[in-house]
Amino acid sequence: MMVEHTPWLLTAVPLLMAAFAMLSARLAPYLASVSTLICGTLLLQALEPLSQETIIHTLGGHAAPLGIELYLDRLSWMMLALTWLGGALCSLYAFFWFRSTGHAGVAGFWPLWLGLIGGMNALFVSGDLFNLYVALEVIGICAVSLAALAQSREAIRAATNYLLATYAASLAYLFGVGILYGLYGTMDWRLLATLAQPEAPALLAAGLMIAALAIKAALFPLHFWLPSAHATALPPVSAILSALAIKGAFYLLARLYIQLEMPGSLPALLLGYLGAAAILYGGYQALMAHNIKRIIAYSTVAQSGYFFLIFAIGGAMAWQGGFLQLYSHIIAKATLFFAVGNLALAAGSVTLEGIKGVARAAPLTLFGAAMAALSIAGLPPSGGFLAKWLLLQSAIEGGAWHFVAVLAIGGLLSAAYLFKIFRYALIEQPEKRFNDPGVWLGWVVLLGGFISLLFGFVGGQSVAWFDLSALSLGGAS
Amino acid sequence: MSLFWLFALSGSGLFILGLLATAFRTRALEKLIALNIAGSGVFLFFVALAGRSDPPDPVLQAMVLTGIVVSVALTGLGALLIRRQMTEGGGDDG
Amino acid sequence: MGEATLFDLLLVIALLTTALRAFWAKGSFEAVFSLLFFGFFMAMAWMRLGAADIALVEAAIGAGLTAAILMEVLRVVGSSSFATYRVEGVWMLPAAAFLGFLIASAFRLLPPFAAPEGAYSATLEALSQSAIGNPVTAVLLDFRSYDTLLEVGVLLFAAFAVAKLSGPVADRFEKRRTMLSFLSSHLAPVLALVAGYLLYQGMDGSGGAFQASALLAAAGVLFSLSGQPLARQEALESRFWLMGSGFVFFFLVGIALALKQGHLLAYAPQWQSAAILSIEIALTFSLAYALLVLYWRIAHAGKAR
């Protein structure tokens, strides 16, 4: 059967397509769609066996601790599937965006984007801490290069800072892996989970790794590299970076938390409180910004804060809420960056002043963006609403009133900064002339907005499926 | 003092000092150099760990080789971006 | 592992001095030069710790290629003679001191030997049944070959990105007839020969694809410094097929083995040596080329239109 090969095939297909896409810029988008089709089929095929058991692949036939093992369980599957869905949307938008603008960045885009997908797929199934380091580097190199593709001075400067931040983080992570290996002689995290003790070197290693991943996931106050990198990149790239690239690091943190059984521990609480600070700080900065790309980039800082709340609140309901927030954010944030890209094409500007009255030129875009905005602001009926509702409920049940307050204020802030964009876009400017962003680009935004609304209806079942009760999550329940 | 201790501790020292220098130097090129040295510190720690046993642990040595190649890839990309920053005019498009 | 000798102490002092010199450098030029010396001392430290495989790569890549790349950047960026430090963020100093204290005290608890029943003993046992004599090669290309595969991918993507982001390449190679150009054009073939020997020897003794490609790349840098017409012409090209061939070949061999053996990169005993040697040869050339593209494109990056 093919299914036991799924874990590595999901990496092999995009990476090989990336290598071939380097040879021909013309064929590259077709190679990307072949990769998307194959990966989608592989994911669907794995669905049935996964309801019974975890799919394990022993690379090279060498079991841990000698070799590397890949684990594909339901949590990984959900991450893979959402990355696939978000990735497919981004590919679609990128195809039409490059076609309508003819931007020279297209020559580098497809191979690096396929490389990023391959790296993320490798990360979601890897069961070995050092292998995860290499996967993180694949993601890091591709993400930084994609961010620089705009080739403006600002974009290159932002990409340089991104590279320095991710380089420093990788070193801290690697150091942590070294200490764990020195202690227990293995990097396989199923073995580590049975061996690890709360002793000083292990705690030090965990601290280093958590700090490293917090930088890569742009957790406040380690987000310093994100707003510029995401705001200066090309529109399809901003969507990719904000919606997907930072999610790998968060997923790894969640895995560490589960495998090392951290509920209620000091680092877990600290992550939660920093997440709360991120919600407030990111929301405030987004409200103050005048550049619409910067507004959406700061919104990513704020929205990522919600994922981290689950570490402090704990319990299955909070985890479902947190992961549903992650999934909704992938789709909604990608859609918003698509919309901003369209508005920039139509108005020729990314400032609030510049987009005045643009609604007339891009009605489809604005309609799609409104649906995605519901999810970000946490209004019904959307995935974001359900996610924040679950988080709110679990905070109330746990009596964590400070988090209830943060959730309420965060919701108001995000509604306010998103409303600001729509208000400016809707101001009537009869004499102003706009470009036509093209009907296809508008349809992609509409599709994205539609999917993020759909999450409000099917999101509940999908997060219930990955069966969090089997994991140790702590909390009130 | 055993050889392991000496090199493990100086490796960690290089790592910490390198990160500090990354934070305190203002030019990107010098930050990149500091990170390179911090990385060498991590590798020194790895090889010191490998040397605890006889023969030395090949797993750790292989990881250092992998790490060095990753490091030169990051340094190369960083160096190019720094160079482009300098040669690029002051245009503020996009 | 034995006790530290006076030589080790001096080596550590040299490492720390050159590192601090780079951190406290007055300008970028001094920092790059300190890194070069640091790389040399690092290579000596690897030798002392019994890691000859790493020492070779460190000398060629860490001290050689990295320094060459940074020198090329320096040529454009220029070297300011003023030290520039951030004044804010002083809180990091006590934080770093605290981290250092944590590390030093945590290391006391690290066992002074490899963990029993860990990867170390498993690797030694597997090595006794393997046809490959060099333990590091066995780990890189057999036991943990998937890491190596992804790592080759990292270098491939970095080289591709550098080629795409470097802007139009300026043809401003001046013909240099200096002692250096004479030396480098004659030294390069010698290095290439040594690289071939290392590749061959890597199955059993020190060496292997990484060492060979690092030396080959160093030879390439020397050759292009000599200003030979062939080198100039090569530097303007980016042969992506050559850059990616090692990665693709490695992956395809792995997939073929997966179809036959049921696991990615699971070598059948009768094929093992042949498969690994062919992967090493493919990797040597494409890794060396990718490293060279990094250098060339950075050295000749131009101004975007």
Indicate which of C49, C87, C210 best probes the interface with B, i.e. most B CBs within 10 Å of its own CB.
Answer: C49
Count CB-CB contacts under 10 A for residue A330: 27
Length of chain C: 305
Length of chain A: 477
Does residue B36 sit at the C interface (CB-CB below 8 Å)? yes
Does residue A460 sit at the B interface (CB-CB below 8 Å)? no
CA atoms within 13 A on the CB side of B62: 30
Enter the pTM of the model.
0.95
Chain C CB contacts of A119 below 8 Å: 150
**Mean pLDDT over the full length of chain A:** 91
- CB A175 to CB B45 under 8 A? yes
Q: How far is CA A74 from CA A53, A155, A189, C241, in A?
A: 9, 37, 17, 38
Chain A CB contacts of B66 below 8 Å: 130, 134
According to DSSP, the residues that pair with A71 across neighbouring strands are A56
What whole-number distance in Å separates Cα of residue C204 and Cα of residue A107? 42
- CB B74 to CB A170 under 8 A? yes
Render the burial of A412-429: b for 16+ CB within 10 Å, e for the rest: ebbbebbebbeebbeeee
What whole-number distance in Å separates Cα of residue A388 and Cα of residue A395? 10
Name the helix (H) or strand (E) containing C195: helix C179-201
Which amino acid is residue B61, in one-letter code?
Q
Which amino acid is residue B41, in one-letter code?
G
H helices of A149-197, where? Answer: 153-184, 189-195
Chain A CB contacts of C109 below 8 Å: 199-201
Please list the rounded mean pLDDT of every run of 10 residues in chain C (305 residues): 83 95 88 92 89 85 87 78 69 88 86 84 90 88 95 97 82 58 75 81 76 88 75 75 94 93 88 89 93 88 53
Which amino acid is residue C88, in one-letter code?
E
B41-67 pLDDT, tens per residue?
A: 999 999 999 988 888 899 999 999 999
Name the helix (H) or strand (E) containing A259: helix A247-259
- CB B89 to CB A232 under 8 A? no
Query: What domains are defined for chain B?
Result: 3-86 (1.10.287.3510)
H helices of A51-128, where? Answer: 74-101, 106-125
Chain B CB contacts of C297 below 8 Å: 80
Indicate which of C26, C32, C103, C110 best probes the interface with B, i.e. most B CBs within 10 Å of its own CB.
Answer: C103
Task: Give residue A151's region: left, alpha or beta (phi > 0; psi -120 to 50).
Answer: left
> Out of C102, C116, C241, whose CB is closest to A204?
C102
CB A103 within 8 A of CB A137: no
Indicate which of B6, B22, B30, B85 best probes the interface with C, i.e. most C CBs within 10 Å of its own CB.
Answer: B30
Rg from Cα positions in chain A: 21
* Chain B nearest CA to A154, separation (Å): 7
CB A406 within 8 A of CB A442: no
Instruction: Inform me whether the pLDDT recorded for A248 exceeds 90.
Output: yes
> Out of A66, A184, A199, whose CB is closest to C143?
A66
With the CA atoms of A422, A427, A428 and A429 taken in that order, what torsion angle do they form, in degrees rounded to the nearest 10? -100
CB A237 within 8 A of CB A97: no
Q: Which chains neighbour C (Cβ–Cβ under 8 Å, 3 or more pairs)?
A: A, B
A288-303 pLDDT, tens per residue?
A: 999 999 999 999 999 9
> Out of A144, A156, A232, whose CB is closest to B85?
A156
* DSSP code per residue over A55-70: EEEEGGG--TTTS-EE
Name the helix (H) or strand (E) containing A71: strand A69-72
- CB C145 to CB A12 under 8 A? no
Report the pLDDT value the prediction gives residue A475, as an integer from 0 to 100: 42
Does residue B56 sit at the C interface (CB-CB below 8 Å)? yes
Going by C-beta distance under 8 Å and a sequence separation of 6 or more, which residues neighbour residue A172? A208, A209, A211, A212, A215, B19
Instruction: Inform me whether the pLDDT recorded for A1 exceeds 60.
Output: no
What whole-number distance in Å separates Cα of residue C288 and Cα of residue C116? 38
- CB C109 to CB A199 under 8 A? yes
Report the pLDDT value the prediction gives residue C176, as an integer from 0 to 100: 55
In angstroms, the first-to-last Cα distance of chain C is 58
CB C42 within 8 A of CB B40: yes
> Out of A4, A134, A200, whose CB is closest to C147?
A134
| Closest-CA residue to A145 (of C149, C163, C289) | C163
CA atoms within 13 A on the CB side of A106: 20
Rg from Cα positions in chain C: 22
* Chain A nearest CA to C281, separation (Å): 19
Q: Which chains neighbour A (Cβ–Cβ under 8 Å, 3 or more pairs)?
A: B, C
- State what percent of residues in chain A have pLDDT above 90: 71
| Closest-CA residue to A421 (of A322, A354, A352) | A352
Does residue A108 sit at the B interface (CB-CB below 8 Å)? no
- State what percent of residues in chain B have pLDDT above 90: 69
Helix pair A316-347, A383-397: axis angle to 10 deg = 140
Chain B CB contacts of C3 below 8 Å: 1-3
What whole-number distance in Å separates Cα of residue A118 and Cα of residue A116? 5
Measured CA angle at B46 (ends B42, B47), to 5 deg: 120
Chain A CB contacts of B90 below 8 Å: 153
CB A452 within 8 A of CB A332: yes
* Chain A nearest CA to B85, separation (Å): 6
A27-64 pLDDT, tens per residue?
A: 999 999 999 999 999 999 998 888 778 899 999 999 98
Count CB-CB contacts under 10 A for residue C239: 14
CB C267 within 8 A of CB A60: yes
Please tell me which residue of chain A has the smallest CA distance to C261: A61
Interface of B with A in 68-87 (CB under 8 A): 70, 73-74, 77-78, 81-82, 84-85
Chain B CB contacts of C120 below 8 Å: 53, 57, 59
Length of chain B: 94
Pairing of strands A55-58, A69-72: antiparallel
- CB B80 to CB C25 under 8 A? no
Instruction: Inform me whether the pLDDT recorded for A427 exceeds 70.
Output: yes
Rg from Cα positions in chain B: 17
What whole-number distance in Å separates Cα of residue A353 and Cα of residue A357? 9
Chain A CB contacts of C102 below 8 Å: 200, 204
ipTM of the complex: 0.95
Tokens read off for C41 = 């001392």
Does residue B46 sit at the A interface (CB-CB below 8 Å)? yes
CB A362 within 8 A of CB A442: yes
What whole-number distance in Å separates Cα of residue A448 and Cα of residue A417? 20
A335-390 pLDDT, tens per residue?
A: 999 999 999 999 988 999 999 888 888 999 999 999 999 999 998 888 899 999 99
A163-213 pLDDT, tens per residue?
A: 999 999 999 999 999 999 999 999 998 888 888 888 889 889 999 999 999
Helix pair C209-225, C272-299: axis angle to 10 deg = 30
CA atoms within 13 A on the CB side of A459: 30
Helix and strand counts by DSSP (H, E) for chain A: 18, 2
- CB A153 to CB B91 under 8 A? yes
| Closest-CA residue to A209 (of A246, A179, A172) | A172
- CB A138 to CB C157 under 8 A? yes
Indicate which of A62, A130, A144 best probes the interface with C, i.e. most C CBs within 10 Å of its own CB.
Answer: A62
Going by C-beta distance under 8 Å and a sequence separation of 6 or more, which residues neighbour residue C179? none
- CB B51 to CB C96 under 8 A? no
The domain spans of chain A are 1-261, 264-477
Render the burial of C23-58: b for 16+ CB within 10 Å, e for the rest: bebebbbbbbbbbbbbbbbbbbbbbbbbbbbbbbbb
Burial of C172 (C-beta count, 10 Å sphere; 0-12/13-18/19+): exposed
User: By three-state DSSP, how is residue A7 classified?
Assistant: helix
What whole-number distance in Å separates Cα of residue B29 and Cα of residue B85? 11
